[in-house]
Amino acid sequence: MKKEEIISKLPYSKPFLFVNEIINVNENGVEGAYTFDEKLDFYKGHFKDNPVTPGVILTEVMAQIGLVCLGIFLLNDTFSKKTSIALTSTEIEFLKPVFPNEKVTVISEKIYFRFGKLKCKVKMINEKEELVCMGTIAGIILTPTLSKGEGAKTGLK
């Protein structure tokens, strides 16, 4: 699957699409980048006269690149518009702020992918190659091939 094809399959659109490019992807992980446009709405109030990217948005960037893009790659042809994706857990440590117009790179390593659950070790670095945040993210990816009797609601058999 081509990198552009993965981005086109993401279930997000602007202003909530936080993936500009996928640099590398394989069955063990993904690396991608996003640049924070200074015109993003949340900068107007977080914080007054000193805008900083909220931690929840940094987490979302890591989830979209490090979990969802990797999940789309791993599912390949079975990923469709009927596929459901849900974040199940995060444990993130924030180390440096991210400011408007800053480009970040997310590097994700698959810990496991089984029974529809994908768990990854993720880190975000800035253009100076400083570690911004790191942790683990997990989510459930349910494809239409799972029937209700097979655990479509939980992803578990």
CATH of the domain at 47: 3.10.129.10
In angstroms, the CA 139 to CA 32 distance is 18
Residue 65 lies in a domain: yes
* Tens digit of pLDDT at every position of the chain (157 positions): 799 999 999 999 999 999 999 999 999 999 999 999 999 999 999 998 899 999 999 999 999 999 999 999 999 888 888 888 999 999 999 999 999 999 999 999 999 999 999 999 999 999 999 999 999 999 998 887 654 444 444 444 3
Looking at the domain assignment, is residue 113 inside a domain? yes
- The count of structural domains within the chain is 1
**Domain assignment present for 8:** yes
Task: Give the domain range for residue 113.
Answer: 3-150
Residue 155 forms part of a structural domain: no
In a domain, 157, yes or no: no
pLDDT of residue 12: 94
